[in-house]
Amino acid sequence: MLHKTISLKKIWPKGNWQDFDKKYESSYAGDVNMGCSRLLLRKNRQENLPQLLNDIARIYKKAQKQYENWIENVWNPLKEELKSLAIDDKVFFYAKPTHDYTGEPDQWWLYEYSKSEQFGWGYSFEWVNEPEVKLNYELGQKFYDLDRRYQSKFRVRVYILEKILAYWLEKYVYNLYGNKWLNQNMFSEKLIKITLHGDEYWYKIEKNRYDVPLWKNFIWQSNNTEEINV
């Protein structure tokens, strides 16, 4: 279960924190400001790390696919519709913010969606007073709602699952070759390739600024490795 905070009463109504801590682990997954940022997991799941990694990787790829489908079927068509209204590669539209914010209650967003030679199409917005003429309001509000509610939801879920997978992959690598092995083999050119659901995750030995050897991921989710025997 992904979560940011835990209500003990909801998930462990008959127990206490001590009993809960014996059976569950909540693993860190990056920026706590990115929504649900931890994974609640039964500790006995760690008894079979390969299976756990496969389960997390499967959910991660599913979330990526959901995000890609949303981009292709919902987000991109809306942006194409806005592009069709552009004059000289620029279109403006309004939206009324519905999220919690500080400031005047009648503030609106004025979007600019435009094309630059260097970066292609992109958008920005500025806070404005409620306009008398709400230019392209229906499309603008739809753009705001999709961006705030859905794109953030899909993007954050992928981000969190990626961090969780990275956490358990690293833990698995250190279970195979821990710090003692690293200290004895710090000059080794050993590489580790882990394959999950057709994707490759590669690790190599590096040193931190204190000259301590550690495992470092250097290829993430590649499925395009070409092996050539000469």
- Is the CB of residue 163 less than 8 Å from the CB of residue 30? yes
| b/e burial code for range 28-60 (CB count within 10 A of at least 16 → b) | ebeeeebbbbbbebeeeeeeeeeebbeebbeeb
Q: Determine the Cα–Cα distance for residues 15 and 23; give it in Å rounded to an integer.
A: 11
Q: Give the residue extent of every domain in the chain.
A: 2-176, 177-230
Above 50 in pLDDT, residue 147? yes
Q: Which amino acid is it at 37?
A: S
Tell me the per-residue pLDDT of 158-182, one tens digit each, with 9 for 90 and over: 988 898 899 999 999 999 999 999 9
- What would the two tokens of residue 119 be? 């970066």
Rg, the chain, Cα only:
24
Q: Determine the Cα–Cα distance for residues 10 and 38; give it in Å rounded to an integer.
A: 17
pTM: 0.80
Tell me the per-residue pLDDT of 2-14, one tens digit each, with 9 for 90 and over: 545 445 455 555 6
Tell me the per-residue pLDDT of 75-131, one tens digit each, with 9 for 90 and over: 999 999 999 999 999 999 999 998 887 677 789 999 999 999 999 999 999 999 999
On average, the pLDDT of the chain sits at 87
Under the banding of pLDDT at 50, 70 and 90, the label for residue 227 is confident
- Is the CB of residue 139 less than 8 Å from the CB of residue 93? yes
pLDDT at 13: 57
Please give the full DSSP string across the chain, using - where no structure is assigned: -EESS--HHHH-TTS-HHHHHHHEEEEE-S-TTSSS-EEEEEGGGGGGHHHHHHHHHHHHHHHHHHHHHHIIIIIHHHHHHHHTT-SSSEEEEEE---S--SS-TTEEEEEEEEEETTTEEEEEEEEEEPPSS-TTHHHHHHHHHIIIIIIHHHHHHHHHHHHHHHHHHHHHHHHHS-HHHHHHSTT---EEEEEETTEEEEEEEEE-TTS-EEEEEEEEEE--------
